[in-house]
Amino acid sequence: MPASFSGSPTTHTLGFPRIGSSRALKWSLEGYWRSAGTDDDRQRLKQDAAAVRAEARHWHGEAGIDRPATGDFSFYDGLADLSLLFGQAPARFGDLPNDLDALFALARGRETATETVAPLAMTKWFDTNYHFLVPELDADRPFRLDAGRYLAQVEEALAENPAAKPVLVGPMTFLWLARGASAKTRLARAPALAEIYSALLAQLAKAGVEWVQIDEPVLGLDLPPEWLAAFDPVYHRLKTPGIRLLLATYFAPLAGRVGVLAGLPVDGIHVDLTTTVDIDALVDRLPAFKVVSAGVLDGRSIWRADLGGLLDRLEPLFQRLGDRLWLAPSCSLLHLPIDAAVEDQLPPVLAENLSFARQKLEELSLLARGLADGRVAIGEAIDAAKAARRRLDEQEGRVRGDRREAVARLTVDEPARASAYPERARVQRETLGLPRFPTTTIGSFPQTDEIRAARRAWRRGELDTSSYETRMQDEIATVIRAQESIGLDVLVHGEPERNDMVEYFGEQLDGFAFTRGGWVQSYGSRCVKPPIIWGDVARPKPMTVRWSAHAQSLTDRPVKGMLTGPVTVLSWSFVRDDLSREQVAYQLAAALRDEVIDLAAAGIPAIQVDEPAFREGLPLRRDRWGEYLDWAVRAFRLATAVAPDATQIHTHMCYSEFNDIIESIAALDADVITIETTRSNMKLLDAFADFDYPNEIGPGVWDIHSPMVPTTEAILERLELALAKVPADRLWVNPDCGLKTRGWPEVTTALEHLVEAAARLRGAHPGD
Ligand code: GLN
Ligand code: ZN
């Protein structure tokens, strides 16, 4: 290292989990929502939240992070906070001040005796599993700065660390993600919004802030040229005396954005090094006073970093940039659990290889030290990380020759069913003996308190396995009887034995592990605890066959087996980083393939492979879609192609649009696909109609997210709409999604209406 580089790179974070250890904020929020909402209740919630923030500051301090993020905390969601910060609550809420109850109104809607006000819509934050509240803009509601809550949070952090760095989602990202006005109208509002940001920045300057991080992850998307062109003028307006801006990009490669970024009137750029290979291209074009923040630790990976390998990458950058180099995780740590140190029930070889949010802080400061003082200064940590990883790599089950060979063999040729769909359909029509417009459900039936209690008791050892299994078999019998008496055509067993559609399979597969406290915020107070895929996946024994076979033994009607697809298991897990997602998907598919074989052999005539997360896996940039779709489709086919012609393969997807991926949906070659269409009033079917989708379709005709029971007439109307788009001999009748969150009375009535609607449809369209 040249002697001229004294000093060390600045360490900082882009954001931190806000749910608190042991999900403190969740419990506090939910307690508050149940309370009468008095000043005392609110005070308690605020204190709990302050403790969560204090804890995060403490950990940053302990690790010696120079510029911890602040202003990233939210009681529900950061985008909803921004809406209030800029006075952009939709008109239907009336005039909302920027306070807690306003935030909860945006998030949860408002219900009074006289009115129901719908909440903001929710959607996924880029390609993460975090869901944000979608801001709603209209053409003329003026921006109005109401910064009290935000400033209070920043001041609280500054009091402890004057170098704390406020974080804001940037104006272009805010406008791009918003709805309610056309893209053109939203873009036209950019100058006005920039003025408001600038006013806020001026207030931050007054509070003593030096650096502000502005997140523009939208730079990772395929933006129209006029949006890209708007960055420059907007950021000129943002320039505020006394404030230095760090513009943060993440989740996607810089490809094609270097020109836009290098010229922006900001003082630094944060780059996600986990997706950007060529950071030099940016450094080459950046004026020599600007900061480059290297997002070097993968902010979404739970795995301990290879410190030595990262230093290989950072050292040349540090040579070039000196203390203009900042170090950070690639993105906010929001997408990670808080602390791997609490995982005392995992095998030690796994536990020592985990790095959650707290561990990332430590790794970050180690890297900074390794650059400032040379590798020897952190030699022990480098070696320890390497040794831990070696132990994991050598762990039995990590690499299994038999699985690797099996997958290689299974993917030599494109997996395909024995016959093409028309021939299969003919065989299935004979064996299944279904009427026109067959009726079915998506899999789960109500998960009653009794079912959950039984599962909890069994897990705690208070209920023995055979009593538990008897309870589940009884529940299955109840579900079968109910479906028979309602008159459904293809029955399901109801999934009472499943707590979660991914965890249930993960627990029965080799290669998975489960944390105790690995919770990650999904939205608001809701968290998920994704399983960890750490080793090669294998299925030691059948997973669902006894339940499905039991169900089939109770009825003469066909029962549909129920599996979670490879892509969905992958998307909703933390995945190993030493094998491509593609290969892990194939391993999962190979395991599911064995299950399909066993289900078919047990006489289960139909098998549904759920892929609700199929679309989620799409890369942010379109030029990378093909590669993903190619292996995702192959994984699904690998799992299902082995089914005999007579076995009807179903798949199910929800929360999806299909227009731009319809070819891949067709390539799955499922005999039947059921989708969620009610809320779009069958609009989502257009993609299938326009494409002449060749196989059978069950467009959902009952919105199971709403407690409302649809009338027979309403269902019939939807079916008539569907019939205009789907040929009669390929149309199924079913709800939008599984019924596990609903209660029995509404389920029974709604399904009766659904069956009645199908019967009337048959009357109106008797066929030949
Ligand atoms: N078979 C699952 C169920 O019915 C499907 C769930 C889903 O699509 N998310 O619950
Ligand atoms: Zn669904």
Q: Whose CA is nearest to atom 9 of ligand 1?
A: 612
Crossing angle for the helix pair 39-63 and 100-108, nearest 10 degrees? 90
> What does the pLDDT read at residue 6?
56
How far is ligand 1, taken at its centre, from the CA of residue 670, in Å? 17
By most ligand atoms within 8 Å of CB, the mutation choice from 440, 499, 610 for ligand 1 is 610
How far is ligand 2, taken at its centre, from the CA of residue 652, in Å? 6
Kindly report, residue by residue over 346-382, the tens digit of the pLDDT. 999 999 999 999 999 999 999 999 999 999 999 999 9
Residue 56 above 50 pLDDT? yes
How far is ligand 2, taken at its centre, from the CA of residue 661, in Å? 18
DSSP state letters, 519-567: -EEEETTEEE---EEEEEEE-SS-SSHHHHHHHHHT-SS-BEEEEE-HH
By most ligand atoms within 8 Å of CB, the mutation choice from 129, 440, 444 for ligand 1 is 444
CB within 8 A of 98, min separation 6: which ones? 84, 85, 87, 146, 147, 148, 149
Higher pLDDT among residues 299 and 114, named by residue = 299
> What does the pLDDT read at residue 656?
79
Q: Which two tokens stand for residue 560?
A: 């549909």
Q: Whose CA is nearest to atom 6 of ligand 1?
A: 738
User: Can you tell me which atom of ligand 1 is nearest the CA of 498?
Assistant: 10
> Are the C-beta atoms of 293 and 248 separated by less than 8 Å?
yes
Report residue 197 CA to chain centroid gap: 29
**Distance set, CA 348 to CA 358, 389, 482, 507, 517 (Å):** 18, 12, 47, 19, 16
Q: Is 217 in the pocket of ligand 1 (CB under 6 A)?
A: no
Span between the terminal Cα atoms of the chain, in Å: 83
Q: Whose CA is nearest to atom 8 of ligand 1?
A: 612
| Protein residues within 5 Å, CB atom, of ion ligand 2 | 612, 654, 737
Share of the chain above pLDDT 70, in %: 99
Kindly report, residue by residue over 726-765, the tens digit of the pLDDT. 999 999 999 999 999 999 999 999 999 999 999 999 999 9
How far is ligand 1, taken at its centre, from the CA of residue 425, in Å? 24
Q: Is 670 in the pocket of ligand 1 (CB under 6 A)?
A: no
Mean pLDDT of the chain: 96
> Are the C-beta atoms of 764 and 728 separated by less than 8 Å?
no
Q: Is 83 in the pocket of ligand 1 (CB under 6 A)?
A: no
Kindly report, residue by residue over 342-356, the tens digit of the pLDDT. 999 999 999 999 999
How far is ligand 1, taken at its centre, from the CA of residue 501, in Å? 7
Residue 506 above 90 pLDDT? yes
Residue whose structure tokens are 């906070």:
81
> What does the pLDDT read at residue 665?
98
Higher pLDDT among residues 278 and 309, named by residue = 309
Q: Note if 705 is an active site residue.
A: yes
Q: Is 611 in the pocket of ligand 1 (CB under 6 A)?
A: no
Q: Is 442 in the pocket of ligand 1 (CB under 6 A)?
A: yes
Kindly report, residue by residue over 193-222, the tens digit of the pLDDT. 999 999 999 999 999 999 999 999 999 999
d(CA 113, CA 107): 19
> Are the C-beta atoms of 366 and 51 separated by less than 8 Å?
no
Q: Is 57 in the pocket of ligand 1 (CB under 6 A)?
A: no
Residue type, 389: R
How far is ligand 2, taken at its centre, from the CA of residue 616, in Å? 13
How far is ligand 2, taken at its centre, from the CA of residue 656, in Å? 10
Length of the chain: 768
Q: Is 12 in the pocket of ligand 1 (CB under 6 A)?
A: no
Give the closest ligand to the alpha carbon of residue 562: 1
> What does the pLDDT read at residue 444?
98
How far is ligand 2, taken at its centre, from the CA of residue 654, in Å? 4
By most ligand atoms within 8 Å of CB, the mutation choice from 501, 504, 568, 572 for ligand 1 is 501
The mean pLDDT value for 284-305 works out to 97
3-class SS string, 629-651:
HHHHHHHHHHHHCCCCCCCEEEE
Q: Is 612 in the pocket of ligand 1 (CB under 6 A)?
A: yes
Which secondary structure element, helix H or strand E, spans residue 144, and what is its range? none
Kindly report, residue by residue over 257-276, the tens digit of the pLDDT. 999 999 999 999 999 999 98
Sign of the alpha-carbon dihedral angle for 551, 552, 555, 560: positive
> What does the pLDDT read at residue 3?
41
For the chain, domains (ranges, CATH) are 10-110+118-393 (3.20.20.210), 401-763 (3.20.20.210)
Residue of 12, 236, 652, 705 marked active site: 705
10 strand-pairing partners: 326
Q: Whose CA is nearest to atom 10 of ligand 1?
A: 738
Q: Whose CA is nearest to atom 1 of ligand 1?
A: 443
Q: Is 610 in the pocket of ligand 1 (CB under 6 A)?
A: yes
> What does the pLDDT read at residue 277?
83
Residue 658 above 50 pLDDT? yes
d(CA 357, CA 22): 14
The mean pLDDT value for 655-682 works out to 94
Q: Is 444 in the pocket of ligand 1 (CB under 6 A)?
A: yes
Q: Is 719 in the pocket of ligand 1 (CB under 6 A)?
A: no
> What does the pLDDT read at residue 47?
98
Residue 4 above 60 pLDDT? no
DSSP SS3 for 718: helix
Of the candidate ranges 105-119, 308-322, 468-482, the one whose mean pLDDT is the lowest? 105-119
Q: Is 151 in the pocket of ligand 1 (CB under 6 A)?
A: no
> Are the C-beta atoms of 288 and 316 separated by less than 8 Å?
no
Kindly report, residue by residue over 426-484, the tens digit of the pLDDT. 999 999 999 999 999 999 999 999 999 999 999 999 999 999 999 999 999 999 999 99
Crossing angle for the helix pair 148-160 and 39-63, nearest 10 degrees? 40
User: Can you tell me which atom of ligand 1 is nearest the CA of 562?
Assistant: 1
Q: Whose CA is nearest to atom 4 of ligand 1?
A: 738
Give the closest ligand to the alpha carbon of residue 704: 2
Q: Is 652 in the pocket of ligand 1 (CB under 6 A)?
A: yes
Q: Which two tokens stand for residue 330?
A: 């690639």
How far is ligand 2, taken at its centre, from the CA of residue 566, in Å? 15
Q: What is the pTM of this model?
A: 0.96
How far is ligand 2, taken at its centre, from the CA of residue 676, in Å? 7
By most ligand atoms within 8 Å of CB, the mutation choice from 490, 652, 704 for ligand 1 is 652
Give the closest ligand to the alpha carbon of residue 739: 1
Q: How many other C-beta atoms can be found within 10 angstroms of the C-beta atom of residue 184?
A: 9
Q: Is 496 in the pocket of ligand 1 (CB under 6 A)?
A: no
Q: Is 654 in the pocket of ligand 1 (CB under 6 A)?
A: yes
Share of the chain above pLDDT 90, in %: 94
The mean pLDDT value for 64-93 works out to 97
Residue 1 above 70 pLDDT? no
pLDDT band (50, 70, 90) for residue 115: confident
pLDDT band (50, 70, 90) for residue 279: very high
